[in-house]
């Protein structure tokens, strides 16, 4: 069982200024690696990706990402919100910078967590937030249950987030994006053994590492062909050779998500 660092706790530690010691504790299981440029890609904006949402605490501290799939519905990871109450989270759209004040802030009126969720390495890492305020931004399309062909090994996937830019580093003030290839299930199984649940997860990354999502990116999107196909979920450290990022395989949960989007 791989021990994961939870974005929520890392973000809380950062927000509290709880210092290097606490953060080191949370990231210790993955601290073996040399810092790598995580989302090794480039900075971008919410103007370019209007459906990418920040999920923050009530004080505005970002701890996860999410994807707008309807004016009042945001797809995120179960592990981001399972311990939250509707009062304790906000969704922020149209804000490229963590320290910005622009965009739209919404309260959350309902948190749906996949009822099968226990922890990220067991699967079912999907949640849907219902917003109190409509987001005036373009929503993303998401995969349907029959789109399973999108996960062909080698397909180019795009990830986005404000997470840490190295395994033990700080969050990025500006939204970042990178592309990573989808990895075959058998390669992912080689990396993660039985923690990789192929029905519920898909891996993406280079076998040599170097480009990946990291802490704070969880809940955010993995797009394939411009369609939301995954949710940033977990990994062993970040951008380490032999350890790709693991994403929720959204085709498996498409029906459940649609049922939530329809309410
Ligand atoms: N669990 C992390 C989060 O909560 C996401 C980690 C993704 N890790 C990776 N190596 N791709 O933000």
Atom of ligand 1 at shortest distance to CA of 77?
4
Query: At 38, is the pLDDT very low, low, confident or very high (cuts 50, 70, 90)?
Result: low
What gap in Å lies between CA 15 and CA 29, rounded to an integer?
21
The answer as to CATH 3.40.309.10 being correct for domain 1-263 is no
Beta bridge pairs of residue 142: 228
User: Ligand 1, residues 232, 237, 239, 248: which to mutate, most atoms within 8 A of Cβ?
Assistant: 232
Helix (H) or strand (E) run with residue 241 in it: none
Helices (H), 45-162: 78-81
Query: At 263, is the pLDDT very low, low, confident or very high (cuts 50, 70, 90)?
Result: confident
Question: In this structure, which residue's CA is closest to atom 11 in ligand 1?
Answer: 245
Atom of ligand 1 at shortest distance to CA of 120?
1
**Which sequence positions are flagged as catalytic?**
79, 125, 218
pTM for the model stands at 0.88
**Residues 92, 103: contact at Cβ < 8 Å?**
yes
**Residues 39, 178: contact at Cβ < 8 Å?**
yes
Atom of ligand 1 at shortest distance to CA of 5?
1
What gap in Å lies between CA 24 and CA 32, rounded to an integer?
11
Q: What's the confidence (pLDDT) of residue 227?
A: 98
Q: Is residue 245 scored above 90 in pLDDT?
A: yes
Query: At 29, is the pLDDT very low, low, confident or very high (cuts 50, 70, 90)?
Result: very low
**Higher-pLDDT residue of 173, 12:** 173
Q: Is residue 178 scored above 90 in pLDDT?
A: yes
Q: What is the mean pLDDT of the chain?
A: 88
> How far from each other are the two terminal CA atoms of the chain, in whole angstroms?
36
Tell whether ligand 1 has an atom less than 6 A from the beta carbon of residue 215.
Answer: yes
**Higher-pLDDT residue of 209, 12:** 209
Tell whether ligand 1 has an atom less than 6 A from the beta carbon of residue 245.
Answer: yes
Tell whether ligand 1 has an atom less than 6 A from the beta carbon of residue 212.
Answer: yes
On the 0-12 / 13-18 / 19+ scale of CB atoms within 10 A, 186 is: exposed
Q: Is residue 161 scored above 50 in pLDDT?
A: yes
User: Ligand 1, residues 11, 13, 215: which to mutate, most atoms within 8 A of Cβ?
Assistant: 215
Q: What's the confidence (pLDDT) of residue 39?
A: 57
């Amino acid at each position: 069982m791989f021990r994961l660092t939870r974005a929520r706790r890392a973000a809380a530690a950062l927000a509290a200024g709880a210092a290097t010691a606490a953060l080191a504790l949370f990231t210790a299981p993955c601290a073996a690696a040399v810092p790598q440029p995580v989302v090794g890609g480039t900075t971008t904006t919410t103007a370019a990706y209007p459906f990418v949402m920040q999920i923050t605490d009530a004080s505005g501290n970002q701890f996860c990402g999410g994807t707008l799939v309807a004016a009042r519905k945001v797809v995120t990871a179960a592990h981001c919100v399972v311990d939250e109450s509707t009062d304790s989270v906000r969704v922020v759209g149209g804000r490229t910078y963590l320290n910005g004040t622009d965009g739209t802030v919404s309260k959350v009126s309902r948190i749906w967590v996949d009822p099968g969720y226990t922890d990220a390495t067991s699967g079912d890492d999907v949640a849907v937030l219902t917003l109190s305020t409509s987001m005036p931004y373009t929503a993303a399309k998401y995969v349907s249950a029959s789109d399973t062909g999108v996960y062909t090994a080698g397909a180019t996937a795009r990830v986005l987030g404000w997470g840490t830019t190295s395994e033990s580093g700080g969050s990025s003030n500006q939204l970042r994006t990178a592309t990573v290839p989808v990895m075959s299930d058998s390669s992912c199984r080689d990396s993660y053994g039985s923690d990789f649940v192929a029905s519920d997860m898909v891996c993406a990354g280079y076998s040599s590492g170097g480009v990946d999502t990291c802490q704070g990116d969880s809940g955010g999107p993995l797009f394939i062909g411009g369609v939301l196909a995954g949710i940033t979920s977990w990994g062993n450290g970040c951008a380490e050779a032999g350890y790709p990022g693991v994403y929720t395989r959204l085709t498996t949960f498409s029906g459940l998500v649609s049922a939530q989007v329809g309410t």
